């Protein structure tokens, strides 16, 4: 069974556009779970342009499903995560000024750094996942970091889907098989949507979790949040 973790960053972005507390991020998180989401994902950035560090502390006592915190492992981020102790931390390599995550880890060049950071999280009882592309060499070296899971960066699949889904999915199937052979857990995320999610789930072996934010929140403007979450769950379960 593949879990759906809803990334609520875009809800925070809307709130921050006007100040105040509309929409209410905490209520939205509770509602996402009530409507069927099996996890809540946040990505607090240093400039706090969407989810803020204090939001993460406010969310901790109310998230009853799997809490997943994404981010670049800066000193401040490591301190935040070890204080919160979420179910999972997902490490991304993007710098603070990046608009969104746009690349996977170079697990060769960053091997010692990742090993040290991951060990710190695991000492605190936090499952670790690292954002990675379909490069088989990078996946091979991911195991040496000590991570529990990897999250496949799916932007390339989403971009190529309309031009031929069989070709678009091929490197992800190959990567997923290697992840399984290495004994790592498999997550995925970035630009997955109602258009391309079902086929991805059908083709990718061992997919444990998808994290979806932008497309899901956009769809909720048209279909409503409850209905949208149910639509995404249906793609994963059919």
3-state secondary structure the chain: CCEEEEECHHHHHHHHHHCCCCCCHHHHHHHHHHCCCCEEEECCCCCCCCCCHHHHHHHCCCCCCEEEEEECCCHHHHHHHHHHCCCEEEECCCCCCCCCCCCCCCCCCCHHHHHHHHHHHHHCCCEEEEEECCCHHHHHHHHHCCCCEEEEECHHHHHHHHHCHHHHHHHHHHHHHHHHHCCCEEEEECCCCCCCHHHHHHHCCCEEEEEECHHHHHHHHHHCHHHHHHHHHHHHHC
Max CA pair span of the chain: 49
Confidence tier at 158 by pLDDT (50, 70, 90): very high
Instruction: Please check the confidence at residue 160 and state whether its pLDDT lies above 70.
Output: yes
What is the per-residue pLDDT for 99? 54
Q: How many CA atoms lie within 13 A of 211 on its CB side?
A: 29
- Provide the pLDDT for residue 103: 80
pLDDT tens sequence across 24-64: 999 999 999 999 999 999 999 988 999 999 999 999 999 99
Cα–Cα dist 211/188, whole Å: 7
pLDDT at residue 83 is higher than 80:
yes
Going by pLDDT thresholds of 50, 70 and 90, the confidence category of residue 96 is low
Query: What's the predicted TM-score (pTM) here?
Result: 0.95
Task: State how many domains the chain has.
Answer: 1
Closest CA to 105 of 153, 149, 62, 57: 153
Q: Domain limits at 97?
A: 3-237
Q: Looking at residues 166-171, what average pLDDT do you find?
A: 98
Give me the active site residues, please: 43, 70, 190
- Per-residue pLDDT, 222: 97
> Which pLDDT score is estimated for 82?
98
If you average pLDDT over residues 158-181, what whole number do you get? Answer: 97
Taking the C-alpha atoms of 27, 30, 36 and 42 in order, what is their torsion angle to the nearest 10 degrees? Answer: 90
Asked whether residue 228 carries a pLDDT value surpassing 80, the answer given is yes
Which of 202 and 1 is assigned the larger pLDDT?
A: 202
| Burial class (CB within 10 angstroms; exposed 0-12, middle 13-18, buried 19+) of 237 | exposed
Taking each helix axis as running N to C, give the angle between helix 25-34 and helix 225-237, from 0 to 180 degrees, rounded to the nearest 10: 40
CATH classification at residue 205: 3.20.20.70
Give residue-wise pLDDT tens across range 181-211: 999 999 999 999 999 999 999 999 999 999 9
> Greater confidence, 47 or 225?
225
Per-residue pLDDT tens over the stretch 97-151: 555 566 899 999 999 999 999 999 999 999 999 999 999 999 999 999 999 999 9
Q: What span, in angstroms and rounded, lies between the C-alpha atoms of 154 and 200?
A: 10
Confidence of residue 238 (pLDDT cuts 50, 70, 90): confident
CA dist 105 and 118 (Å) reads: 13
């Amino acid at each position: 069974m593949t879990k759906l973790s809803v990334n609520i960053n875009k809800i925070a972005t809307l709130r921050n556009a006007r100040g105040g507390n509309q929409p209410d991020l905490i209520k939205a998180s509770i509602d996402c779970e009530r409507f069927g989401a099996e996890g809540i994902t946040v990505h607090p950035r240093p400039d706090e342009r969407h989810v803020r560090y204090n939001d993460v502390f406010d969310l901790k006592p109310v998230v009853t499903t799997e809490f997943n915190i994404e981010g670049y492992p800066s000193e401040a981020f490591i301190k935040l995560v070890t204080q919160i102790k979420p179910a999972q931390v997902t490490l991304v390599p993007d710098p603070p000024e990046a608009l969104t995550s746009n690349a996977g880890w170079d697990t060769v060049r960053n091997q010692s750094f990742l090993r040290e950071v991951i060990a710190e999280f695991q000492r605190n009882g936090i499952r670790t996942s690292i954002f990675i592309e379909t490069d088989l060499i990078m996946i091979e070296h991911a195991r040496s970091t000590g991570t529990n899971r990897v999250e496949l960066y799916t932007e390339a699949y989403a971009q190529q889907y309309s031009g031929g889904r069989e070709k678009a999915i091929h490197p992800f199937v190959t990567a997923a098989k290697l992840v399984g052979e290495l004994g790592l857990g498999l997550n995925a995320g970035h630009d997955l949507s109602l258009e391309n999610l079902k086929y991805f789930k059908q083709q990718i072996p061992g997919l444990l979790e998808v994290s979806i934010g932008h497309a899901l929140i956009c769809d909720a403007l048209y279909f409503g949040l409850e209905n949208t979450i149910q639509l995404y769950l249906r793609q994963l379960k059919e």
